[in-house]
Amino acid sequence: MSQPRLLPVDRPELSPLPISGRLRSQLVYFMTPSGSPGVPDLAENEFWIARDQVARWLEEGVFYLVSPLDSANATEVELSEEQEALLSWLEKNGIQHVRVVE
């Protein structure tokens, strides 16, 4: 199996970012839900990660996870080095729309 990469759909002139399988499975933590204002229709394996959220996560160094067993409470999770590198890449390059390719 080849290493997953993120293609910057809204910045096609940039090189893809290689990511681990683990980070690939964590992209859902950062994606902006479909139907949110400003989010275009997304194809399979595409994610929209809102610029303002990226800046907030980087500033705070954490993100929040809601448990499917307890949706009333969220757990604060410290960013891993790999997650922080992804968010920094998005912010530095002004990317919001990515596609995962295997």
Distance CA 46, CA 32 (A): 11
Distance CA 6, CA 11 (A): 11
The tens digit of pLDDT for each residue in 37-51 reads 999 999 999 999 999
Distance CA 42, CA 75 (A): 28
- Tell me the pLDDT band of 1, cut-offs 50, 70 and 90: low
- Tell me the pLDDT band of 73, cut-offs 50, 70 and 90: confident
The reported pTM is 0.91
Give the whole-number percent of the chain exceeding pLDDT 90.
83
Q: What is the mean pLDDT of residues 20-32?
A: 96
